[in-house]
Amino acid sequence: ATVFYTSKPRYYSDFPILATKLKATPATGWFKEGYQMVLRGINMFSSPFQVMTGTGPVVVLPNNFADKVQNNPHLSFNRYFDRDFFTGYPGFEAYKTGYQDGTFIQEVVGVKLTQSLGLFTADLFDEMTAAAHDLFGEEASFKTIGLKDTVSFLVARLSSRVFLGKNLARNNRWLHIAMHYTHDSYAAKGELRQWPFFLRPFVHWFLPTCKRLRQQVKGANELVMPEVEKRKDAVRNAKESGTKPPKTSDRIGWVYEVSRGRDVNYVYGQLFLSFAAIHTTTETITGCLMDICAYPEIVQPLREEIIQVIGTDGWAKTSLYKLKLMDSFIKESQRRHHMGITSIRCYADEDIKLSDRHVIKKGSRMMVSCDTVINPKVYPEPEKYDIYRFFNLRQ
Region 356-370: mean pLDDT is 90
Please choose, from the candidates 45, 46, 49, 58, the residue with its C-alpha nearest in 3D space to the C-alpha of residue 10: 58
Q: Are 287 and 329 in contact (CB under 8 A)?
A: no
Contact 62, 233 (CB under 8 A): no
DSSP-based three-state secondary structure for 295 = coil
DSSP state of 353: E
For residue 138, give the DSSP letter: S
Q: 151 Cβ partners below 8 Å, 6+ apart?
A: 282, 285, 286, 289
What mean pLDDT do residues 324-330 have?
97
The domain spans of the chain are 92-271
Three-state DSSP at 56 gives strand
pLDDT above 50: residue 341:
yes
Q: Is 145 helix (H, G, I), strand (E, B) or coil?
A: coil
The H or E element spanning position 345 is strand 342-348
Is pLDDT of 4 > 80?
no
Q: How far apart are CA 92 and CA 94, in angstroms?
A: 5
Q: What is the CA radius of gyration of the chain?
A: 23
Q: What is the pTM of this model?
A: 0.82
Instruction: Tell me the average pLDDT across 195-216.
Output: 93
Q: Inform me whether the pLDDT recorded for 2 exceeds 50.
A: no
What are the tens digits of pLDDT across the range 345-354? Answer: 999 999 999 8
